[in-house]
Amino acid sequence: MTSPPPASLATRTRPPGESLVLVVDDMPRNIQVVGNLLREAGYQVAAATSGATALRAMQQRPADLIVLDVMMPEMDGYEVCRRLREDPATSEVPVVFLTAAADTEMLVKGFAEGAVDYVTKPFKSAELLARVRNHLDLKHSRELLVQNAERLRQLDDEKNEFLGILAHDLKNPLAGVVGFADLLLDEPDMDADERSDHMQMIRTSAQRMMMMVRNLLDANAIERGQLVMDVAPHDLVDLVNFVVESFRARTAAKGQTLEVHRPDGPVPTLVDRTLAIQVLENLISNAVKYSPPGKAIQVRVRREPGLTHFEVQDEGPGLSESDQRKLFTNFARLTPGVTALGEDSTGLGLAIVKRVVQAMRGRIGAISQLGRGSTFWVKFPAAHLTPPGDNLVTSGEG
């Protein structure tokens, strides 16, 4: 199963029901006729019987398009249009003049004040609707272009930032691989323990580089909507035990303890096994990374109605409010970016974890206080384990 592609770039055309048209005319009968026509076409309609009322209405709730009578007392359509163009909040709203005159000089003046089109009275319904629809489509297209241009700018910034981070962060582990390999080659008589230490350092450096490359590939797959999942019921306790055991050597080297609290019996969870393990590994790895030597890391599993809950609590430096706002975002460089043992990251891990969790219909969050450690939690959909020979079904789906 593949997750749906993310809405990275906007492409949807806005339906009529999402567009508000303001009809401005000093004759209530004209407002009624035009308003009924637009409502029947599916548009939302607001009305104003004077230029001043129209300007106030636009301040309270800007319309997507205005059908504006030209000849009105006190403030004519030209003045209304000019004031709309002077206000940055309304300057891009298209104005279609509704006029009884088709005098060239008047029309030129209207266009000079900022109108985009006109319809002469008495008007044909099909003509008015066509002009309204066309200018709303043009307005929406411009908005999409602006949104997409901003999104492309963000993507380009993220790409450049990632390439910069990757180039910087790969340099250190790559230099370690080359340096320790040179030592092994230059000193063939090195004793076995020292040789083993150097080989372990090469392996650690290579693993760090592999993590960075995997993060890049995972981010690219998620961004393109190509994350392939095989979601099925799994016992969350088994998954946690598997991941915890893989960290025993690492925590022992730092003098840390991993304490696991779990309920009796299985905790059936609907997840992709490989991706769920990746999520658990990332969260436990961060807890190990940012907890000082000699500290205890608490791992908890429990059942909730319709959900399963996993959390890991560390005794690290905790997160400031500013850092907490940046959690789960691409390339977030938090304050404790490097630990005393030099365990750093590309800043992509938690962003990918969140997307993977969401792709499996789960939720993720964190509770932290500066100087008091952090607790990261994940909730997955629960699954029911049925008697042997029966199918496995998700909670709430019978």
DSSP string, 99-151: ES---HHHHHHHHHHT--EEEESSPPHHHHHHHHHHHHHHHHHHHHHHHHHHH
Residue 5 lies inside a defined structural domain of this protein: no
* Position 345 confidence tier, pLDDT thresholds 50, 70, 90: very low
Q: What is the pLDDT of residue 347?
A: 44
Q: What is the pLDDT of residue 169?
A: 60
* Position 46 confidence tier, pLDDT thresholds 50, 70, 90: very high
For position 356, which CATH number holds?
Answer: 3.30.565.10
Q: What is the pLDDT of residue 3?
A: 41
Residues in the chain: 398
Tell whether 358 and 267 lie within a shared domain. Answer: yes
More confident residue, 281 or 308: 308
Q: What is the pLDDT of residue 168?
A: 60
* Position 356 confidence tier, pLDDT thresholds 50, 70, 90: confident
- Least confident range of 3-7, 105-109, 143-147, 158-162: 3-7
Averaged over 245-253, what is the pLDDT? Answer: 86
Tell whether 236 and 385 lie within a shared domain. Answer: yes
Tell whether 203 and 331 lie within a shared domain. Answer: no
What domain range is 247 assigned to? 231-394
Q: What's the pLDDT tens digit per position in 138-154?
A: 988 888 888 888 888 87
Tell whether 192 and 277 lie within a shared domain. Answer: no
Number of domains the chain contains = 3
Q: Is the pLDDT confidence value at 230 over 90?
A: no
Tell whether 50 and 114 lie within a shared domain. Answer: yes
* Element of type H or E holding 22: strand 20-24
Most confident range (mean pLDDT) of 6-10, 61-65, 201-205, 319-323 is 61-65
Q: Is the pLDDT confidence value at 397 over 70?
A: no
* Position 391 confidence tier, pLDDT thresholds 50, 70, 90: very low
* Element of type H or E holding 48: strand 44-48
SS3 188: coil
Tell whether 55 and 37 lie within a shared domain. Answer: yes
Q: Is the pLDDT confidence value at 263 over 90?
A: yes
* Position 167 confidence tier, pLDDT thresholds 50, 70, 90: low
Pairwise CA distance, residues 187 & 333, whole Å: 39
Residue 13 lies inside a defined structural domain of this protein: no
Domain termination residue (choose one: 92, 123, 146): 146
Residue 137 lies inside a defined structural domain of this protein: yes
SS3 393: strand
Pairwise CA distance, residues 80 & 77, whole Å: 5
Tell whether 105 and 175 lie within a shared domain. Answer: no
Domain termination residue (choose one: 177, 204, 223): 223
Residue 318 lies inside a defined structural domain of this protein: yes
Tell whether 378 and 333 lie within a shared domain. Answer: yes
Tell whether 49 and 94 lie within a shared domain. Answer: yes
Q: What is the mean pLDDT of the chain?
A: 81
* Element of type H or E holding 31: helix 28-40
The reply to whether the predicted model has a pTM over 0.75 is: no
For position 130, which CATH number holds?
Answer: 3.40.50.2300
Tell whether 117 and 44 lie within a shared domain. Answer: yes
Domain termination residue (choose one: 111, 127, 146): 146
Q: What is the pLDDT of residue 246?
A: 85
Residue 4 lies inside a defined structural domain of this protein: no
* Position 234 confidence tier, pLDDT thresholds 50, 70, 90: very high
Residue 277 lies inside a defined structural domain of this protein: yes
Q: For residue 289, give the nearest of 344, 332, 249, 211 by alpha carbon.
A: 344
Tell whether 34 and 171 lie within a shared domain. Answer: no
Residue 128 lies inside a defined structural domain of this protein: yes
- What percentage of residues in the chain have a pLDDT greater than 70? 80
The total of other beta-carbon atoms located within 10 Å of residue 289's CB is: 18
For position 211, which CATH number holds?
Answer: 1.10.287.130
Averaged over 289-297, what is the pLDDT? Answer: 90
Averaged over 316-334, what is the pLDDT? Answer: 74
Q: Is the pLDDT confidence value at 371 over 90?
A: no
* Position 79 confidence tier, pLDDT thresholds 50, 70, 90: very high
Q: Which burial class, exposed, middle or buried, applies to 301 when counting CB atoms under 10 A from its CB (0-12, 13-18, 19+)?
A: buried
Token reading at 178: 């080359």
Q: What's the pLDDT tens digit per position in 188-212?
A: 888 888 888 888 888 877 877 776 6
More confident residue, 80 or 102: 80
Q: What is the pLDDT of residue 11?
A: 53
Averaged over 174-190, what is the pLDDT? Answer: 84
Tell whether 315 and 353 lie within a shared domain. Answer: yes
Pairwise CA distance, residues 226 & 2, whole Å: 6
Q: Is the pLDDT confidence value at 388 over 70?
A: no
- What percentage of residues in the chain have a pLDDT greater than 90? 35
Residue 181 lies inside a defined structural domain of this protein: yes
The total of other beta-carbon atoms located within 10 Å of residue 354's CB is: 20
Q: What is the pLDDT of residue 337?
A: 46
